[in-house]
Amino acid sequence: MGSVSLKIGDGTARFKRATLCSSAVNILMIFSVITTNLFAYYAFTSSPKTQLHHVHNNNISLISDHVSLILKEIDVNQKKLAQMEKQLLGYESIDLSRPNIANELKIFLQGHQLPLGKDSRTGITEMASSVGHFCEKNTDLLSQFMSYKVSGPCPDDWSVAQKLILQGCEPLPRRRCFGKTIPKVGLQTFPISLWKNVSNKTVNWSGLNCKSFECLNAKKLSRECIGCFDLVNGYENKRFVKAKSKNDFLVDDVLALGSGGIRIGFDLGGGSGSFAATMADRNVTIVTTTLNIDAPFNEFISARGLFPLYISLGHRFPFYDNVFDLIRAGSALDIGGKPEKLEFLMFDIDRILRAGGLFWLDNFYCANEEKKQALTRLIEKFGYKKLKWVVGEKVDSVGSGKSEVVLSAVLQKPSRA
Ligand SMILES: *[C@@H]1O[C@H](CO)[C@@H](O)[C@H](O)[C@H]1NC(C)=O
Ligand SMILES: *[C@@H]1O[C@H](CO)[C@@H](O)[C@H](O)[C@H]1NC(C)=O
Ligand SMILES: *[C@@H]1O[C@H](CO)[C@@H](O)[C@H](O)[C@H]1NC(C)=O
Ligand SMILES: *[C@@H]1O[C@H](CO)[C@@H](O)[C@H](O)[C@H]1NC(C)=O
Ligand SMILES: *[C@@H]1O[C@H](CO)[C@@H](O)[C@H](O)[C@H]1NC(C)=O
């Protein structure tokens, strides 16, 4: 019985930690404790005459029957508690027994036992397929995404996929259908491709309001993309080599701060990829993250001969620790929400940047002084060396339209024990 009460103790402790916890859980806990005690009471007091007789006959099986009944009851209640905990946390694995779940989703998510049993090097016995846990929040859309003819053409549904990703359903499940292709007429050879206009014909414009890059150029899509598809006549080819304000650093100055050790880097929310192109001119390889919000950024970046990474900022970066020499982030870093969200992001940036590597915060719009101070405090927590630190003021022509505090900085990651 000792181990039994210990188990209940664990459950209570867990629920005390989850302060969200409603009285429903408490009621269930009390119920669980009462039933346990009732069973115990029953086990040792009911029909004393007959049972004592059996016990005197050393009939252990009767007692062990009761005990296993009690344990079963506790087990059921603990499962109920776990279920409630999951619901409170907003996390639950996808219930594949629900109606209207696409069959392909079930097949994809089924675990597959390794044919030769446990793998001695990794210790795994099963190959699991991963999907983001927020996929559960929108199983209808997910099932729509997973409804297709196996080995047939995929539906024209890139916007459904992106909607799921933006809701936190990331990674998406894999599919067994053939994606649409496009002939990609007019691709240039590298490195000429870096600064030549990209042909409209490299993109399938289905599902987008604009049907050409000329159309997109007339729009202010984001702070990272104002006329960013005109690589010839616009400002894009001067962005990182000519300063418009004191907040604009020049790539050559930043590279000089890295004293020759800058070879690979990562650009967060890098618009049409011009930072990566400017760095490619200097033999530095940059991976650019971008989704396709209102424009075919991924197609455009790849047409330039650069590396687009289709991933949201909510996703842990798919890179190992200490791999990058340089990480640049502009206003994309402004992910909103609770301060903890930005903190998680900053820790992930820190993780993939090597010691001595540079973090370039490029024209971060702070809205107000208070936000700037919060960001400054967060950055200072990491103990980076401030190689450049410029606070300015700019009119936010894409966002609020008001004058905002703008922070640009180049920070060097320290080595930590
Ligand atoms: C012990 O109890 C079980 C069920 O309560 C009964 O079936 C069994 O005959 C008893 N055994 C002895 C040795 O009394
Ligand atoms: C673009 O995709 C749509 C929908 O999948 C398809 O009907 C159309 O033919 C494609 N356009 C080109 C130019 O391939
Ligand atoms: C793209 O399409 C627009 C409008 O359809 C056209 O005016 C323009 O010449 C095209 N540009 C290129 C580079 O193909
Ligand atoms: C590139 O596109 C811009 C507009 O988007 C246009 O003004 C310019 O002529 C184009 N240049 C070339 C070389 O096609
Ligand atoms: C880039 O690398 C090429 C080939 O190694 C070399 O010829 C060129 O000078 C390099 N460019 C710069 C800016 O270092």
The pLDDT value recorded for residue 371 is 87
Across 26-48, average pLDDT: 56
Ligand 2 atom index nearest CA of 182: 14
The pLDDT value recorded for residue 95 is 79
Domain CATH for 279: 3.40.50.150
Same domain, 275 and 159: no
The pLDDT value recorded for residue 98 is 80
In angstroms, the first-to-last Cα distance of the chain is: 47
For residue 6, pLDDT over 50 is answered with: no
Same domain, 53 and 113: no
CA of 167 to the centre of ligand 2 (A): 26
The pLDDT value recorded for residue 411 is 98
Nearest CA to ligand 3 atom 3: 212
Nearest to 378 by CA among 343, 337, 334: 343
Nearest to 285 by CA among 238, 241, 324: 324
pLDDT digits (tens, 9 = 90+) for 107-141: 888 877 888 888 888 888 888 788 888 898 889 99
Q: Confirm or reject: Cβ of 283 under 6 Å from ligand 5.
A: yes
> Which ligand is located closest to the Cα atom of residue 210?
3
Whether residue 25 contacts residue 81, with contact meaning beta carbons closer than 8 Å, is answered with yes
Ligand 3 atom index nearest CA of 201: 14
115 occurs within a structural domain: yes
Same domain, 44 and 143: no
Across 79-93, average pLDDT: 67
Pairing mode of beta strands 112-113, 126-127: antiparallel
Mean pLDDT for all residues in the chain: 85
Pairing mode of beta strands 285-289, 126-127: unpaired
For residue 1, pLDDT over 50 is answered with: no
For residue 273, give its domain range: 192-412
* Burial (Cβ within 10 Å: 0-12, 13-18, ≥19) of residue 227: middle
Across 319-328, average pLDDT: 98
Q: Confirm or reject: Cβ of 197 under 6 Å from ligand 4.
A: yes
Same domain, 153 and 232: no
Q: Confirm or reject: Cβ of 61 under 6 Å from ligand 1.
A: yes
pLDDT band at 243 (very low <50, low <70, confident <90, very high): very high
Same domain, 157 and 37: no
Between 62 and 354, residue with greater pLDDT? 354
How many other C-beta atoms are found inside a 10 Å radius of the C-beta of residue 163? Answer: 14
Across 157-161, average pLDDT: 95
CA of 263 to the centre of ligand 5 (A): 12
- In 3-state terms, what secondary structure has residue 306? coil
Phi, psi of 325, deg, nearest 5: -85, -25
Same domain, 151 and 285: no
Nearest CA to ligand 1 atom 2: 62
- How far apart are the C-alpha atoms of 59 and 251, rounded to whole Å? 84
Same domain, 132 and 278: no
* Burial (Cβ within 10 Å: 0-12, 13-18, ≥19) of residue 190: exposed
What's the gap between Cα 186 and its chain centre?
34
pLDDT band at 37 (very low <50, low <70, confident <90, very high): low
Number of domains in the chain: 3
Residues sharing a CB contact under 8 Å with residue 302, sequence separation 6 or more, in sequence order: 308
Between 52 and 293, residue with greater pLDDT? 293
The pLDDT value recorded for residue 125 is 85
The pLDDT value recorded for residue 58 is 65
Share of the chain above pLDDT 90, in %: 59
Same domain, 333 and 199: yes
